[in-house]
Chains A and B, each alone.
Chain A
Amino acid sequence: MLNYTLRRLLMVIPTLLILVVFAFYLMRLAPGGPFTSERPLPPAVMANVLERYGMDEPLHVQLWTYIRNILCCFDFGPSFAQKDRTVNDVIAQGFPVTLTYGFWSAVFVLLLGIPLGIVAALKHNGFWDYTMTGLAIFSQIFPNFVLAPILVLLFTLSWGLLPGGGWNGGQWQYVVMPAIALGTSYMASVARLTRGSMLEVLGSPYIRTARAKGLPERTVILRHALKPALLPTLTYMGPVFVYMITGSVFVDVFFSTGGIGQDFIDGAYSRDYSILLGLAILYAVLTFALTLMVDLLYAWIDPKVRAGLS
């Protein structure tokens, strides 16, 4: 198990390196830069500006400096477009916000999705089952960027219950809609997946045996059926987290929560190399951390996988 964890962690290093090198060259070789504007700067000024940011050196030297600064001092460099902020400032300000509603969104996905799936499987072809199928199709058709405006239309403009954007230090009213908008479609997928695997488990012989022994239905479900039924859901959580990170960029932009997604998009507009690269690294690290967590949890729960690893 430890061995496996270490191997996975080692895999992250070359992957990140590839990402950094690739993104770095992609951005630098493309035409335009953070200092190109409608009215070009005088050449002397331009040279000064470039020197100030170390951009007069050859590309591979810049890349090496960049990587070295990250490794030695965790320094992602200054922002090119926002004069008084460093990338570290941007991350320190925005990341807690994104993490907060992301966390609550994940809670919403799991705490509603899994029970809904289980109930739908237990009442197969009943009311809840159909409700859930409806929800699954609904979420397919209304992705977060259609759902979010509808939510704002209802909860903010029509009923005045929740604020339509902003963060306000993370008061709960400001977290609710971002979390729901981000999570709904994944909640539906989780519910659907749980339903499917629960149905499969409930039809298997050992559940029949458990019932034949005369165990109460509660025990059959909670002790015998639940754990194997949740395994597919768990494997699905890795991709879900990746999708949710993508979705968070949208949520940050739409709800103006002040998370890193907004800075990422702004960075793309202003060609702010360091912000884009820094945030891309952050997103990638976050993805790897979450995927690894899910995989380890999976190995821990499923004895077959655990045995296969050692």
Chain B
Amino acid sequence: MTVADLRYGQKGIIKDFTEHILPIKLLELGCLPGNSVELLQIAPFNDPIYINLSGSHLAIRRSLAALIELEIIEETQAK
């Protein structure tokens, strides 16, 4: 399960990662193990996606989102 697989309203916790493939900028904005990610919006044509990354509101492309592994913690009522 990665951030790219999130559905509307789903929330997850970033898993521990050892591979250093993520750009440093993403980490600085809060993409660290244990932090939460929530999907807020999906752009037209399904890409990019708009997430709340432990308080930072960011838009990232799916290709990048697919690199962030997480565990689902909250299954809010998907509308």
A binds B: no
Q: Which residues of A contact B (CB under 8 A)?
A: none
Q: Which residues of B contact A (CB under 8 A)?
A: none
